[in-house]
Amino acid sequence: MAKIRVLPENLANQIAAGEVVERPASVVKELIENAIDAGAARIEIDIESGGRRLIRIADDGEGMTRDDAVLSFQRHATSKISRQEDLAAISTLGFRGEALASISSVARVEMITKTDLDLAATRVRIEGGTLLDVSDAARDPGTTIAVRDLFFNTPARRKFLRSEATENYHITGIVTHYALVNPEIDFRLTNNGRSVLETPTSISIRERAFQIFGAQILESLIPVNGGREFVAKVSGYVSAPRERRTNRDSQYFFVNRRFVRDRTIADALRDGYRSILPHGYFPIAFLLIEVPVEEIDVNVHPAKTEVRFRRPDAVKDVVTEAVREALAAAGIRAAADDAAPAVPVAGSVTSQSSLVREQEREIQSEYNDLQESRQAFVETLPGLNTIAKTLFEADSRLLTGEPDDRASQITKQDRVNLEEKNESPTSALSQTEFTGPYPTLPPIVNAEHFLKPTEPESGRASLIRVLGQLNNSYILAADNDGLLLIDQHVAHERILFDKFRNKSGNLPSQNLLLPETLDLTPAQAEAYDISCEELELAGFRTMRLSGRTIAVKAVPPDIPASEAKMLLSEILDNVDRERRGRGTAIIRDSIAASMACKAAIKVNNPLTTEEMDWIISRLLLTSSPTTCPHGRPVILRLSLHGIEKAFERI
């Protein structure tokens, strides 16, 4: 008996549905693409229970005849292509003929459609891939498709769906993408009867961006218009550096008006902003790339969100060049040194932060107590300044291997002084000013392993002595095991994160003189509905106004009023969408992390010895002194063993 057999058509469709219909948002995407290909000027999307119970999409496109309506549910039945050569010149969003067959195999589907020439509309009902009924119906020209009880016959697939809020988020994202790139189409999205998105017909992407994202983003948009013949044409908008995000959720890429997730374009955009945005921040972008159809393959995956460029490097160069030219035209240029961002982190200052000044009295008191119990173990001299500067000199010779005879300037007398004198490190640093030039070390073998992340013991705060501050950004300290380099921003961020997260009850608030209004994106509005209670506990006092606009009436006292809107927008962006509805702890951590990052001492901020001592002592009492809430290292150690090995003493 033969072991190999042809699968039943319905089973084959269910297998195909595993790739085409990943979640309710996949159904919405496929049906919206069909409506756009049908020439619709208005598309209405209604969902219930995150798309599990109902997805209904109605359009005013050209509709289908009865024969076409029935045939459209057959696998690989399509009006988009008919010859093999058509695959090399695809200009429509759909073309595979798999969507309706796959959707109808795992749901209860009803289609009502009518053309201008039909006297009556046609209703087609299919359940689990089985045709139930074909009959007359009443409808204006166009098509309505209702998908009910998604995955009703595949419970294993249904249980892998996320929470209703998560599925709503993904659906909203899909509709937002297609509404943005099709300003000539009127999109309406409702969720459980509540309006989520309304975008009347627009004349440009800029106007559509205003409808979706509000005036705040509109004011920062910079037009992009560039390209290279026979490679790609690039148009759209990118944001000024002041309007940025901590993730890529606000980057929208379209290739030949098809929504794509493409690493080539994302990397090109990143390169366009190199040395303009700080590390970890991303611009807002709406980029439309037009590529000759013979230069691109859209038949990469059934979901059609991936494309393959014939010349990806050329496309990347074109996009990067277009973005750089747009920024340059707006007077924004990259710094000459890639290592130094041209735009500082928001809120960077050159003097003490207001937060530090407010805590000065508390710090001084705690510092006095700390000094009484501290056991001094590092004895130093002005000569130590030379050695410390030598070890941490940011000189290219350290990595390139270029020798420097100036290292001999560390004199024998310096070493004698180190053995005989007895002064505090802070006193020594205050007596000698770093004016340069300074001697540099000969190259260190495997320098990348010389400084390593470390985790000092929480009880050893009294054994750590502050030596000074490097570049107004890093605390230099020492203990019995070597030297420590502490990032003051992420260290303070960890301290504040634990404070905000562990605070029981409501955090205090400070009222704003005048309430601020904030226009939320559709995705942010979904996040706000879920996290508003946690925002209240965190010290935010907000109120929902009309549509997607909220009023901010009060903010936590650690947050400057000028940064309240940006912080709240960032918090809503950073709520972990995949974990919504699983508990408030995830939301609370996300809010605490965003607040801590915004309120923490910034780089390029001089600190007193007392303030640096306070940071170290408090850091060692936190839940995780080695990393900030976002996973970045806080402390690097230059071990005594490593120093002796570098000097070839062992």
Q: b or e along 36-56 (b: 16 or more beta carbons within 10 Å of the residue's beta carbon)?
A: bbbebebbbbbbbebbbebbb
282 by DSSP, 3-state: which? Answer: strand
Tell which residue, 147, 189, 182, 190, has the closest CA to residue 23: 147
**How far is it, in rounded angstroms, from Cα 26 to Cα 22?**
6
Residues 97 and 85 sit within 8 Å (Cβ to Cβ): no
Domain 502-599 has CATH 3.40.50.720: no
Q: How many CB atoms lie within 10 A of CB 521?
A: 22
pLDDT tens figures, 348-407: 333 344 444 445 555 555 545 544 444 333 334 344 444 344 444 433 343 334 444 444
| Residue 192 neighbours by CB under 8 Å, 6+ apart | 47, 48, 49
DSSP per-residue string spanning 510-546: EEEEEEEEEEPPHHHHHHHHHHHHHHHHTT-EEEE-S
Say yes or no to pLDDT of 80 above 90.
no
Q: How many CB atoms lie within 10 A of CB 583?
A: 9
Written as six digits, the tokens of 493 are 């961020």
**For position 299, what pLDDT does the model report?**
75
Q: Which residues pair with 359 in a beta bridge?
A: none
Residues 574 and 590 sit within 8 Å (Cβ to Cβ): yes
Residues 611 and 363 sit within 8 Å (Cβ to Cβ): yes
Residues of the chain with CATH 3.30.1370.100: 502-599
Domain 354-497+603-646 has CATH 3.30.1540.20: yes
Q: b or e along 269-288 (b: 16 or more beta carbons within 10 Å of the residue's beta carbon)?
A: bbbbbebbbbeebbbbbbbb
**What is the greatest pairwise CA distance in the chain?**
105
The residue that leads in pLDDT, 240 or 13, is 240
- Please classify residue 525 by burial: count the beta carbons closer than 10 Å to its beta carbon, then call 0-12 exposed, 13-18 middle and 19+ buried: buried
pLDDT tens figures, 417-458: 444 444 444 443 344 444 444 444 444 444 444 556 666 554
DSSP per-residue string spanning 427-468: HHHHHS---S----PPPPTTGGGTSEE----GGGGGG-EEEE
Strand ranges across the sheet with 251-255: 221-228, 232-239, 285-290, 251-255, 258-260
**For position 150, what pLDDT does the model report?**
95
**For position 236, what pLDDT does the model report?**
96
Residues of the chain with CATH 3.30.230.10: 214-329
**How far is it, in rounded angstroms, from Cα 619 to Cα 647?**
31
**How far is it, in rounded angstroms, from Cα 363 to Cα 615?**
9
**For position 460, what pLDDT does the model report?**
60
**How far is it, in rounded angstroms, from Cα 335 to Cα 274?**
9
Contacts for 541-546: CB closer than 8 Å, 24+ residues apart: 541/509, 541/511, 542/568, 543/515, 545/517
**How far is it, in rounded angstroms, from Cα 594 to Cα 556?**
12
**For position 461, what pLDDT does the model report?**
60
**For position 304, what pLDDT does the model report?**
72
Beta strand 108-114 pairing with 54-59: unpaired
pLDDT tens figures, 573-627: 776 554 444 456 777 787 888 888 888 998 899 999 999 999 999 999 998 898 8
Mean of pLDDT values over 302-321: 89
Residues 246 and 283 sit within 8 Å (Cβ to Cβ): no
- Give how far Cα 86 sits from Cα of 310, 382, 536, Å: 17, 78, 56
Say yes or no to pLDDT of 347 above 80.
no
- Give how far Cα 396 sits from Cα of 25, 403, 444, 475, 627, Å: 51, 11, 12, 22, 28
Residue percentage of the chain with pLDDT more than 70: 77
**How far is it, in rounded angstroms, from Cα 366 to Cα 145?**
68
Strand ranges across the sheet with 474-479: 452-453, 635-639, 482-487, 474-479, 465-470
Identify the band that residue 162 occupies on the pLDDT scale cut at 50, 70 and 90. Answer: confident
Residues of the chain with CATH 3.30.565.10: 9-199
Written as six digits, the tokens of 532 are 């508003």
Q: Which CATH class is domain 9-199?
A: alpha beta
Residues of the chain with CATH 3.30.1540.20: 354-497+603-646
- CATH annotation of 214-329: 3.30.230.10
**For position 493, what pLDDT does the model report?**
93
